[in-house]
Amino acid sequence: MLPDTAFDALDVPQIGNQPEDVDRRILFAARLVQLGVLACRRLDRPLKVTTLLPLVERIEALDALVIDFAAAVLSAKAWQRIAANLAGFGERSIPRAYQGRDKRIPALWLYLREEPCENPEAARLLDGFASACRYDGARYNAILANLAGEGVLESAAVQVLEHLEGGSDNGSTVNEKEGSA
């Protein structure tokens, strides 16, 4: 069962190095899946557990989803500024968590810090993605592999999809509260 707060926000909670309580791990999985669902809606991608989980199970796939979503919601002018940010990056200027990853991710976050997205629904989703992307890639992949191995990720995906697709009485409230980006 998802925690009561699963649909209150889109930020992905920090998971520490110590074993976390079950609700926090489930909330982590639910928020990642929710980000994936809302992004897939905007990108007109299929919403099934089998197509959704690969989008969040590995940091590389999450980064690709973030870039695809940002490409759909940001202007060409924004991408020119992101490219300029990217051109200015040296290997030492990229934060450790983003090293070895798609360099457009930290360039995107830098741009959005300077120029927040004007679309409130897209901005909320981008903020949620930023909270997920802050993880070091190896750590993120290890956490998700553990959640997938325990069946937590798939269970959360099923419940999130049911809730957001109207299987819950308050599905429309969630869509309004979270935005369907």
**176 lies in some domain:** no
Print the domain residue range for 89.
22-164
**50 lies in some domain:** yes
Q: Which two three-digit tokens encode residue 109?
A: 């976050």
Kindly give the confidence (pLDDT) of every residue in the chain, 181 residues in length, as a single tens digit, with 9 standing for 90 and above. Answer: 888 888 888 888 888 765 567 778 889 999 999 999 999 999 999 899 999 999 999 999 999 999 999 999 999 999 999 999 888 887 678 888 888 889 999 999 999 999 999 999 999 999 999 999 998 899 899 989 999 999 999 999 999 999 988 754 333 323 333 333 3
**81 lies in some domain:** yes
Number of domains in the chain: 1
How far apart (Å, rounded) are the C-alpha atoms in residues 24 and 111? 30
Q: Which two three-digit tokens encode residue 48?
A: 């099934």
Q: What 3-state class would DSSP assign to 148?
A: helix
**37 lies in some domain:** yes
**171 lies in some domain:** no
